[in-house]
Amino acid sequence: MVSSSIKRNSSLAHEYFIAKKIFLKETEGKKVSRPIVRISMISIALAIVVNLLTIAVVIGFQKEVREKITGFSSHSYIMINGEGSIYESEPIRKDQAFYESLKSNPNIDFVHPVAFKPVLLQSEKRKGTIKTAAGKDSAVVRQDVQGAVLKGVDSTFDWRFFKEYLIKGKLPMVNTEQISNEILISQKLATDLDFKIGDSVRSYFAKNTSVMRYFTVAGIYHTGLAEFDKKMVVGDLRQVQLLNDWGIQASIEVLDTLSNGYVALKANVQGGNGVYDYDWGKGYGSVHGIKICPSFDTTFRLIVRDYMPIGSYQTKQKIQPDTAYISIKVIGDGRTACTFPMDDFGNLKRNFSDKSGLNFSLKTTEKEVFFKSKPGKGSADKYIGGFEINFKDWEKIDADVAELQEELIFKNTEHGELVQVTSIKENQEEIFLWLDFLDINVLIILVLMVLIGIINVGAALLVLILVKTQFIGMMKAMGSVNWQIRKIFLCQAFFIIGKGMIWGNVIGIGICFLQAKFGILSLNPEVYYLDKVPIDITWWHILLLNIATLIICLVAMVGPSALISRVNPTKAIKFQ
């Protein structure tokens, strides 16, 4: 009856039914087959657990590190063409035509100007103790110094990243009319230097000489990306522009001595490269001062620009000039000589009208001359370090950067500048090469774990075939062909694999959930960039992993099941 049924209908339903009965029923050979079957299930479960965790951790690690690095910088960076890094590039004009076009680009999430300046942060003096060679405690006063980079941003900056990781205080105010002294520092810097919200931070910058500035801690952030946390400080872009001596600032200075009965006016210029052109009203030239004996009310205007020597890649048109004024008012007989009195030190005796030092008068018996100086606003605000750009789709970043490069590089801007467009993968090349290398590790682990599962399930299938040799002989005697019997044992392999996969998914997903929720497993951020093991996995990853594992294992079982074709029915029925 069984034989006729099998002959009439060879669909998989019959093989599945028989395999299920055999698998669930306690039959002979149980003591032999049970251990190997359990080992096979455990190996499959272990393979699923390890592979799930491997995929979840590596994808999570790559994603979190990538997002945090991007948060500290950007997907792409536009700066002056040169060999310097983004932290040491030459200044570029802020008022670029491409800046406005980039803001309206549908592929771009945001674009904003930034500038960088290395800084040394110094802690306040702290009392402590150290162990002497004799083993005694000795009181000491410590003052620690930590190197960092001050990143200057303006009101267009996207604060979403730092807002997410802000743990104390508030974000710096960089949209005020006055230049802001507020800064955002990391928890690591705050801990190392013992800073709290509202503390004044003594900061040193390298210019022609060391320059000290005081900043106020407005907020403290913590991303867990120690490599960047320990060096990134965020503040007002205008501070960095001034500290970098970008652009120039001009003023007109009245010298302290008379020159043959004349008052000497001199151009006082700060910033730039030290090579200046001066325009006192008759065009640019090299004359940096003039002599006057004021006889009537007048105003002198001075325009100063710096430039690079002939042959440089920069041009005079690139430099933004600055303008200063000095107003002169004469009371009395202006035609008289300028024999202004001198003080005990041989300097002009000035009568200051306020505390600024810019407004004063010089007086003789015949006349009094009032000087009112108005320094230039400076052109530092016209220059930045570069433009940070974030695209909307990370997967298209290479194509988007290539498109920008094609549009901008090898073409002079309206200010005569050559720019270069770099990708975050170039700016942080070592980190991204390391992240890409993790994909190879994942592939190796996946292959090894699946191979272990295949070997164990294959061994279990062979044991089942040997244990069921008499059953195989009976099935052949009743007319079943080899492939029908092989399908019965393949179904049994499916049960073993399936049960192992169910347990593997339960355990693997459970571990992923616990780690994602509670962050049980921690990391050394100095080595791994993160302070806890990241988890990121989707149902698509789980589904694809399970389908691939099931198919690969079942296909691999076709080979061992071929042993059935070598079973002789006559001998098998007699086999005990």
Using one digit for the tens of pLDDT, what is the confidence trace for 254-273? 998 888 889 999 999 887 77
Query: Domain check: are 352 and 443 in the same one?
Result: no
State whether 364 and 316 are in the same domain: yes
Burial of 137 (0-12, 13-18, 19+ CB in 10 A): exposed
Write b or e for each residue in 476-506: b if 16 or more Cβ atoms lie within 10 A of its Cβ, otherwise e. beeebebebbbbbbbbbbbbbbebbbebbbe
pLDDT of residue 524: 84
Asked if 182 and 173 touch (Cβ cutoff 8 Å), the reply is yes
pLDDT of residue 570: 60
Are 289 and 332 in a shared domain?
Answer: yes
Both 445 and 509 in a single domain? yes
**Mapping DSSP to helix (H, G, I), strand (E, B) and coil, where does residue 273 land?**
coil
The upper half-sphere exposure of residue 40, i.e. CA atoms within 13 Å in the direction of its Cβ, equals 26
Identify the domain boundary among 369, 404, 427: 427
Single out the residue of 201, 200, 220, 204 nearest to residue 212, CA to CA. Answer: 204
Kindly state the tokens that stand for 49: 């657990």
Pairing of strands 232-236, 276-279: unpaired
Provide the pLDDT for residue 402: 93
Cα angle value 442/446/448 (rounded, 5°): 115
Q: What is the pLDDT of residue 528?
A: 82
Question: Are both 97 and 223 inside the same structural domain?
Answer: yes
Q: Which residue's entry shows tokens 């290539």?
A: 402
88 and 235, same domain (yes or no): yes
Give the residue carrying structure tokens 């455990």.
Answer: 42
Write out residues in the chain with pLDDT < 70, as ranges: 1-33, 127-135, 139-141, 208-209, 308-319, 472, 564-576
Amino acid at site 24 = L
Q: Among candidates 410, 436, 426, which has minimal Cα distance to 76?
A: 426
Three-state SS at 564: helix
Same domain, 415 and 463: no
Same domain, 214 and 91: yes
Of the residues 365, 399, 427, the one at which a domain ends: 427
Question: Are 154 and 210 within one domain?
Answer: yes
Give the 3-state secondary structure of residue 413.
Answer: coil
C-beta separation of 535 from 61 below 8 A? no
Closest CA to 556 of 172, 28, 44, 151: 44
Residues 233 and 269 in one domain: no
What domain range is 283 assigned to?
248-377
Residue 188 shares a structural domain with residue 225: yes
- Structural domains in the chain (count): 3
Alpha carbon distance 420, 413 (integer Å): 11
End-to-end CA distance of the chain: 25
SS3 490: helix
CA–CA dist 413, 345 (Å, integer): 53
pTM for the whole structure: 0.76
Tokens of 181: 């002294």
128 and 141 in a common domain:
yes
At 26 the pLDDT is 40
Distance CA 534, CA 60 (A): 5
What is the H or E stretch that residue 182 is in? strand 182-186
C-alpha dist (Å) from residue 150 to 18, 182, 526: 73, 12, 21
Condensed to tens digits (0 to 9), the pLDDT of residues 226-245 reads: 889 999 999 999 999 988 87
- Model pLDDT, residue 132: 67
